[in-house]
Structure 1
Amino acid sequence: MSTLDPAENAARMPQTRGTQHAGTATRARRPRPRRSRFSPARIGVYAFLIFSALFFLLPLYVMLVTSVKPMDEIRLGNLLAWPAHLTLRPWVDAWQAACTGLDCNGIQVGFWNSVRIVVPSTVLSIAVGAVNGYALSFWRPRGAGWLFGVLLVGAFIPYQVMIYPMVRVLASVRLFSSLPGIVLIHTIFGMPVMTLLFRNYYAGIPLELFKAARIDGGGFWRIFLQLMLPMSLPIIVVAMILQVTNIWNDYLLGLVFAGTKNLPMTVQLNNIINTTTGERFYNVNMAATLLTSLVPLAVYFISGRWFVRGIASGAVKG
């Protein structure tokens, strides 16, 4: 065995370490193998998404195409065919000339009735739900747990069960078949869900923030208006989307409680489709249906980002 001189051994050690570092750097710079873009899992996911999109978009396409066809082309029976002669006359007739029973003023009457119902009902139900959720989260009055349990049960009771008692109650106070009556009904039925949303959202806010506001002399309404409400924009958007779509798409409550002069757009749409005086104009019916659904679609498209943000920031916590 040959022995190395200590000086020679010390001279070789830096070269060995340098070689190791160079090998490590070479391995670090070596490109990683790319994943295949057409893996079976990815193909399956895209196939499912495409099939789902076609499943939901095909009826919308049929409605849209039918609404811009003249009746001569509709009678040919080809639902998927693009119109040879594009016309917007069915949309005009659906808006201002379609018959809802004996009246032929179009669906615009129901549109403005729905606006008059949706705006105050949404504002009032969100305001009441926000105050209830704030009180149940931070102030916790005596019996707060029982009260929240009652509200939670009320959120899942079908409102068809309570229609007749509500009719009797509203009739006794002379609010049946009136605009204030239908607004009150939507506010009452929306309050449990709104309370649940805001309570769960406020439960994610640190309690120390509320205690600091109390130490600074803040009262019930001051803390709510100046501290909690400005922080509640995401959940307010979520609540607004839920209430606008639920109230706008409601049919039964509007039919029972609104009265003949305040029938919402959904009831007017049903009257247009079921009015049979001679030939049935399918293009007008489809145009009226699309006009009825424009407001919920616009709300979702405009506020979709805020909806996801509100859900992610605590709307389903608790």
Structure 2
Amino acid sequence: MQTTKKLTPGRIVLYVLLILFALYYIAPLYVMVSTSFKTLDEIRSGNLLSLPNGLNTDSWAKAWSSACTGVTCNGLQPFFVNSLKMVIPAVLISTFLGAFNGYVFAHWRFRGSEMLFTALLVGCFIPFQVVILPMARLLGDFGLANTTFGLVFVHVVYGTAFTTLFFRNYYIGVPEELIKAARIDGAGFFLIFRKIVLPISGPIFVVCIIWQFTQIWNDFLFGIVFASGDSQPITVGLNNLVNTTTGVKEYNVDMAAAIIAAIPTLIVYLVAGRYFVRGLTAGAVKG
């Protein structure tokens, strides 16, 4: 028989606090969305929390296709495309490299593997600013400076340490007896990886894809340092748009541009966010 929980004073206070915190975190998003649909006259005459008189999408169209981002006025569209060209291959490559490395560190240990894994862990906590100069020199030597492929290379190098950590911790939960039994049956390194390990890796793949997509899409430092002109990502384009003023400051266009830049990560979290924590904890307990 199901019992109904009583609304005690303590529980009422808890619910009120949760609602207040939720409103506090939702308020900036509400202001951004409502302002993006307002005209400049509404913004000047109203207040931040007022609703727009109607769904005016002119600011969205301008932010996408005709807003000035420096000396050009093509909106965020080319920057959005650049980010897609960068983030998709960078996420896929770093995720599959992390899966392969995690498989090796978990079940095919070799002399010095623990030391190498420790070095990768240290790489996870190196600040972005530390790698700027050596990475710029490396990109210059490879002829990848100021290119989209150069940004892909940077994010793959920096992200592989994280994906390796995630996959290694997940694969530790795979019984060693299963791997040994496959070896006895004649399965080799790649066959075990393809037939046994990869089919059970769905949850951790979701974790790494969400992690890497969010980190790479939202990155600004690498984009502003290692890219220029036609290869700059959307974070740089958004910064240029917001800081470019030709006459009146159009806050509605700025808000629409910020939401456009955030939409892909919001979609990723809405579609697969519930699997994120599940994937992180799936390999936390062995046996």
TM-score normalised by the chain length of structure 1? 0.87
Q: Aligned residue for 1:155?
A: 124
Q: Quote the residue 1:47 is aligned against.
A: 16
Equivalent-residue separation in structure 2 for 1:44 and 1:235 (angstroms) = 37
Asked whether the equivalents of residues 70 and 85 of structure 1 are also in contact (C-alpha less than 8 Å), the reply is no
Q: Equivalent of 1:305, from 261, 274, 279? A: 274
Contact 2:238 2:258 in 1 (8 A): yes
The alpha-carbon deviation at position 46 of structure 1 amounts to 1.2
Deviations 1:97-126 (A, max 9, x none): 111011111101111000000001001101
Alignment of 1:205-224 (within 5 A): 205-224=174-193
Q: Report what 1:245 is aligned to.
A: 214
2:241 aligns with one of 262, 272, 280: 272
Of the two, which has the highest radius of gyration? 1
Q: Deviation of residue 286 (structure 1)? A: 0.3
Which residue of structure 2 lines up, in the alignment, with residue 15 of structure 1? none
Q: Is the 8 A contact 2:173 2:284 kept in 1?
A: no
What is the correspondence of 1:2-81 to structure 2 with a 5 Å cutoff?
Answer: 37-81=6-50
Aligned match of 1:255: 224
**2 CA distance for matches of 1:233 and 1:315?**
15
Aligned mates of 2:43, 2:267 — CA distance in 1: 28
Between the aligned partners of 2:78 and 2:113, the Cα distance in structure 1 is 43
- Contact kept in structure 2, 1:198 and 1:315, CA below 8 Å: no
Letter matched to residue 200 of structure 1: N
Q: Give percent identity, aligned residues only.
A: 50
Instruction: Quote how far apart the aligned CAs of 1:306 are.
Output: 2.0
Aligned match for 1:188, one of 117, 135, 157: 157
Give the corresponding residue for 1:13: none
Alignment of 1:74-153 (within 5 A): 74-153=43-122
Does the 8 Å CA contact 2:69/2:241 hold for their aligned counterparts? Answer: yes
Give the counterpart letter for 2:125 in structure 1: F
Q: What residue number does 2:146 align with?
A: 177
Cα RMSD between the aligned structures? 1.6
Give the match for residue 6 of structure 1.
none
Give SS of 1:92's match: helix
Aligned length: 286
Q: In structure 2, what is the Cα distance between the partners aligned to 1:36 and 1:255?
A: 54
| 1:17 match | none
Relative to structure 1, is the Cα distance of residues 266 and 230 closer, same or farther in structure 2, using a 3 angstrom cutoff? same
* 8 Å CA contact 2:169, 2:284 repeated in 1: yes
SS at match of 2:213: helix
Change (3 A) 1:35 1:86: closer
Question: TM-score under structure 2 normalisation?
Answer: 0.96
Superposed displacement of residue 258, structure 1: 2.3
Contact 1:197 1:315 in 2 (8 A): no
Amino acid in structure 2 at the alignment position of 1:115:
L
CA distance in 2, matches of 1:315, 1:155: 19
CA-to-aligned-CA distance 1:170-194 (integer Å, 9 cap, x gap): 1122111112211110000001111
Which residue pairs with 1:203 in the alignment? 172
- 4+ residue stretches of structure 1 with deviation over 3 A? none
Unpaired stretches in structure 2, ≥5 consecutive residues: none
Counterpart residue type for residue 309 of structure 1: R
